[in-house]
Structure 1
């Protein structure tokens, strides 16, 4: 266990005893991060931060709970937080009162160390400067890399409660982001970007990030307007994951109980997608370099099937929602003034039904008049999760037998449940991204609004 965490645990127990607090829990984290940015061959920004924060819950003898958060994790800060939470507990909710997760003391399988050695700041700066230079030299049309960043982060998470639960883990990862702009006579500026992440800086695919950014940028130089209409649309792994995330309230038990979801408690067991699709929440997938083995309540994280062969199979739960819906916590809780539920790491794949079926294989090398969506934009404004509708600008191409022409400007619109049922092909090969795992997904009859 981290020395700082050991000290905090000891002080928490001593302070709670001193204050006469019998029941409490604490979730927190310590983050050490260094990041750099460059601009036109020079260092633009170097930042370093060392942050810590805890959320404290205290129950009084009336069984109501108070919550407080603080970034002051020394003995004085801890005492103030416990005292404040205790005082707040007398004004806590009288119904659906949270309690310790029944799985907070369940065993968690050991895993290999998730940390890697740090590299000097000079190495980060040099690597990013070289990446910018290589991008600028890859094609005369690329005039700049206005958005970029290279960072390394080390963090420790912990959870403890007065019943003896104690969890702690440390992780680290490095990431790089590159985003270009072009300047070509008589053409609109075009842009593209790529992102890579790795647990160890030595294994960070900087070259792959450069190549993907350059290839995408150059491919957008040949652009044209498209006519509005219904199209066969292919979502890139990143685009499909962003759409699933935007409508994650479909699987969120708290959203369902709050009536802010298209799903209801009775939706389990019903088909909500084409039988070709499987979707899971898979926090411990090997590709998730920032994976945690436990959530904010201390519940072990796990793989939770959400859609199996097109059928809604499970919801994501905290201990509170699990109790209300007679289910088990799934390791997706965050504690605060209210216990919230959120997805961890989506895993989209072909279903067993798709693999067993002799379906027609679709291929961008032979398909005609297909829209390939690479990146969805304005998700914060163009998605109505409780209604199921979306209207989103996108970056992508119109593809005819392998030939790609960038779409100058267009939006894709529809209803998420109709989209899920209109899936006609899920490719077998998946891509691991920073937000999840997914293949290319083909959807028939989506509305595209262009300027042509």
Structure 2
């Protein structure tokens, strides 16, 4: 696999031979491995090393063509440049993308250095030990059918014909455990836990096992729930899942395509409870996978989306920023077309501290821990959702596992119905978020 510097040298040489004067490239080199176990034995070992590069070429008329390739030797890069050049003559003539105005701006933060990769035998040893410990936590835990430890080294880059050259490196490791119970006369119950860190040696294996065990055991004695309106508390993971499902609310490309719950005129309007503030912050200290620039070479930054309930910003590429007279925010992805997506959400409250609501003393409150079927139960353009969930009914100081139920509502109404945010923020793969209390959501029992 060539180095990024070699890719840049080869690309410039190929562009010169082809008479191409304006081009840019964005891509990544990924080296990853993962393991899975089954009933005390290794079940699956995967490893891959791959490189993907997106190439854009502008012709003399200013139109742009784009292509992608996984063949990154000199011949492959030259072919990609030639293909993109030929495609440019069929490119759009309106709202043509251009280089980001910030492709040479200084980055706000340096990327992390890569950490040494662990051996496959070490991954298997940790995962086998976790599976054994989890199964021994309770007699009802019969198996851990979904499990994994994975590690990834990545090198990202952006370069263009104006001399831009950005690179960053990162190492991440993750662990996932998901159980299944078997008890006579009872339905199988399941629960899971996830951990992520910069390297395998930093993974909180014990914490992952403990969380998966406690959740699983808490679901063994389940009961039906009466259909009705309840105060609902969303776990950090569940609330961030909802935010991502309705991310068109902040996505400038969706807004321009009229595929959003917002319009350009929505900025400055109150869309949520004054208790809620939200930012997208790729540079957040808790973000394991820090991204310092986007697919167009624009530096990433903290972008305020909601401040005290008021919509304050959108996520932009350089193209959407130009069309909406805004500043690029570093959220572009280069592909068949330039798309916009969030990095790392930070949910918080700037309101004067109120007495902390205690989940251990809450009465007739539903705690939603994990939302399911988000691909099918969310109508992103209508703002509505109806989703099965794993969770508990909090009653009399006890957590009663809900046998089977769905939570439904309108996302914009939900945002305005937030009554409390917990003081403690929790790290999830999608961002940092506290527990979020919402009044009067519909819960439908089986």
Which band: TM-score by shorter chain?
A: over 0.9
Offset of residue 111 of structure 1: 2.6
Offset of residue 363 of structure 1: 1.6
Q: Distance in 1 between matches of 2:224 and 2:253?
A: 42
Q: Deviations over 1:268-297 (max 9, x none)?
A: 000000000011101111221112100000
| Corresponding residue number in structure 1 for 2:435 | 440
Q: List aligned pairs for 1:29-428, cutoff 5 A.
A: 29-111=28-110, 113-350=112-349, 352=350, 354=351, 356=352, 359=354, 361-428=356-423
* Local SS of the residue matching 1:83: helix
Q: Distance in 1 between matches of 2:114 and 2:396?
A: 45
* Local SS of the residue matching 2:150: strand
Stretches of structure 2 lacking an aligned partner (at least 5 in a row): none
Offset of residue 361 of structure 1: 3.7
Offset of residue 110 of structure 1: 4.5
| Corresponding residue number in structure 2 for 1:24 | 23
Q: Deviations over 1:115-140 (max 9, x none)?
A: 21111111001111111001111110
Change (3 A) 1:126 1:9: same
| Corresponding residue number in structure 1 for 2:7 | 8
Deviating more after overlay: 16-25 vs 330-339? 330-339
Q: Distance in 2 between matches of 1:360 and 1:25?
A: 53
Offset of residue 257 of structure 1: 0.7
Change (3 A) 1:45 1:145: same
Say whether the 8 Å CA contact 1:375–1:394 is kept in structure 2: yes
Say whether the 8 Å CA contact 1:103–1:299 is kept in structure 2: yes
Say whether the 8 Å CA contact 1:281–1:347 is kept in structure 2: yes
Say whether the 8 Å CA contact 1:35–1:150 is kept in structure 2: yes
Offset of residue 366 of structure 1: 2.0
Deviating more after overlay: 393-402 vs 304-313? 393-402
Change (3 A) 1:112 1:171: closer
* Local SS of the residue matching 1:321: helix
Q: Deviations over 1:226-266 (max 9, x none)?
A: 01100000000000000001000000000011111110000
RMSD of the alignment, in Å? Answer: 1.1
Deviating more after overlay: 411-420 vs 283-292? 283-292
Q: Distance in 1 between matches of 2:318 and 2:48?
A: 33
Q: Distance in 1 between matches of 2:92 and 2:178?
A: 47
TM-score when normalising by structure 1: 0.97
Say whether the 8 Å CA contact 1:114–1:199 is kept in structure 2: no
Q: Distance in 1 between matches of 2:180 and 2:163?
A: 54
Q: Distance in 2 between matches of 1:27 and 1:173?
A: 21
Q: Distance in 1 between matches of 2:239 and 2:308?
A: 17
Change (3 A) 1:283 1:112: closer
Stretches of structure 1 lacking an aligned partner (at least 5 in a row): none
* Local SS of the residue matching 1:424: strand
Say whether the 8 Å CA contact 1:422–1:443 is kept in structure 2: yes
Q: Distance in 2 between matches of 1:225 and 1:54?
A: 51
Q: Distance in 2 between matches of 1:402 and 1:165?
A: 59
TM-score when normalising by structure 2: 0.98
* Local SS of the residue matching 1:16: helix
Say whether the 8 Å CA contact 1:179–1:194 is kept in structure 2: yes
Question: How many residues end up aligned between the 2 structures?
Answer: 446
Q: Distance in 1 between matches of 2:88 and 2:308?
A: 45
